[in-house]
Each structure stands twice: as C-alpha cells, then as structure tokens.
A = this chain, B = another copy of it.
Amino acid sequence: MIHDSVDKAQKSSQNNEMARKQQEQQAMIKDNLARIKHKIFVLSGKGGVGKSSVSANLAAVLSKKGYKTGLMDVDVHGPSIAQMLGMTELLDITPDQQRLVPKQVNDNLKAVSVQALMQDKNQAIIWRGPAKAGMIQQFVGMVDWGELDFLIIDAPPGTGDEPLTVVQTIPEALGVIVTTPQEVALADIRKSISFCNTVKLKTLGIVENMSGFKCPHCGESIDLFMNGGGERTAKQFGLTFLGSIPFDTGVVASGDQGVPIMFQDEETPFTKAFSIVVDNITKQL
C-alpha cells in the first residue's frame, strides 16, 4: 500500500510537470501566432504536384513585395524547402538557448525546415505520427519568428497527422490547394477539399500547377498532365480558382540550385502566371 501511494504521488507529480510544460508550449504558440498577420497553409492531395515549389515561390514573391514573410517546412520525411532555398547550415539557437533562429534568406524572408536541424542530410527521419505532431507544435511555438505579415506553411500531401496537426495548432490558417490537372491528382484533391470542410479550414482557392508546357525546341504546346482539371474542380465545389501555372524545366533546375525562380527578374510565362496567382491570393486578405 505504501508503495502504491508513492507510485501514485510520483505519477501525479510527473503528470503535473507534463501539464505545466504543455501549458507553457501552448502559451508560446499563442504568443508567436499573435504576431503573425496571415497564415497560409499550402496543401495538396497528391505528392509531386509542386506544393513545395509553390510554397517557396509564393514566399519569394511576398518577400520581394516588401512583406515580412516566414516559410515553415513541416514535411519530416521529404523536406524540400531547405534544398529549394539553398539552406545548407544548421539552424542557430537564441542566446538564451530557448528558441530556434530561422534562416534569414533575405531581408524579408525567414525559413525553417526540419532538414536544417539534421547533421546528416541523407538520414531518414523514421517517425510515427505523434512525434511528427510534437515537431510541428515546436516549429510554431519555439521558433523566433518575430513580427510577420505572412507565414507560409508547407506540409506533406494527404490528410494525415501533419496537416491535421497544422490545422489544430493554427486554426486561423487559410488553405491554398495545389493540384496538377489529371484525374488521378483531382481524385486526391477532392479528398483535400473534404478534409478542409471536415476540419473547418477556410480556403483561398485552388492552383492548377504543371498545366501546359511549350516544347523548348519547336514551341508547340504539350499537355503533360492533361489540362483544365483544377479549374473544373474549383467550379464544381464552389471554390475560387487562383490560376494555372505552366510546367517549366527552369523551375525544376532552380529548385535544385537553391534559388526560387520567382527571385529572378526575367519575365517568362511561368513568372507571369505565378504573379497572377499571388495577386488572386493577396486581394482576398
């Protein structure tokens, strides 16, 4: 019986300690979010539709327009943002050792990726759901974001632990749904719309990516992944269509080189189309 009581007392003290830490984290999350005007959550149903590329270029354009912008990559298993922004070093820690310092990409753009916490970039993070949820909450609460106009959140595709945790941690976030035009991708995007409705995530609309392509040799149009499906789906579900972005091999190359194509000054069909999408997003805010 005495052992029982000691056990119970220890457990209760551990529970109190955990509850205190959770409250502390919740307070830090609330405090951080209060200093960020707009939170944009870039979602996709299917992988490989260019969600990270849209996130990185959206953040690039907003920072070029003078907005204080943060970019948060919470894809533990395939963190592309670090590569796309040329982040090669580990993140620093604040002098009081309490917070992570985001990487300063330019005067207006800060970014955080799980990749920038790892010594060995090739190592897999073999985490189950609860660990990923904890990481996302830390990225929102323990990163020293400061005052921001925009925080862009890039989560893995689908409707599992990571997107769910983002929505639960940042309930005021606004969704931007990225798809490619073919039916296999649209089937998944319909699930993303169902997800948004179920978890009450407001959406700014749908972007159709990799929509059309011009042969660099003969200039003729090629529909790599069909076309028009994103606009059709937006209409069908009463969502805003934010625009079509063409496929551009320069975007693939710029992602590999670590400089988002929207940082470049040259005007191309891609940059023109992308600017329209950004305008269609910002004019709703």
Contact = CB atoms under 8 A, between A and B. Distances in A.
Interface of A: 45-49, 52, 75-78, 80, 83-84, 121-130, 132-133, 156-161, 164, 180, 182-184, 187-188, 190-195, 198-199, 215-218, 220, 222-226, 247, 249, 252-253, 255-256
Given A46-B48, A78-B191, 13 more contacts: A47-B47, A47-B156, A76-B160, A77-B159, A80-B184, A129-B161, A184-B252, A184-B255, A218-B218, A222-B249, A224-B224, A224-B247, A226-B256
A77 B157 contact: yes
Contacts of A199: 126
A80 B184 CA distance: 6
Contact of A124 (B132, B183, B195, B249): B195
Contacts of A217: 215, 218, 220, 222
Nearest to A115: B187
8 contacts: A45-B77, A46-B48, A48-B180, A78-B188, A124-B194, A126-B160, A184-B256, A226-B253
Contacts of A188: 77-78, 80
- Which of A126, A180, A187, A195 has the most chain B CB within a 10 Å cutoff? A126
A161 to B, nearest CB: 5
A52 B225 CA distance: 15
Contacts of A83: 183-184, 187
Copies in the complex: 2
A261 to B, nearest CB: 13
B252 A190 contact: no
Contacts of A158: 75-78, 156
Contact of A161 (B46, B128, B192): B128
A114 B255 CA distance: 34
A129 B126 CA distance: 12
Contact of A216 (B46, B52, B216, B222): B222
A249 B182 CA distance: 10
A191 B183 CA distance: 29
Nearest to A45: B78
A217 to B, nearest CB: 4
Nearest to A216: B222
- Which of A48, A78, A84, A157 has the most chain B CB within a 10 Å cutoff? A78
Given A48-B49, A218-B215, A256-B226, A160 B127 contact: yes
A159 B46 contact: no
A123 B78 contact: no
Nearest first, the 8 A-B pairs at minimum CB distance are A48-B48, A47-B47, A129-B129, A77-B158, A218-B218, A217-B220, A124-B195, A122-B190
A195 B126 contact: yes
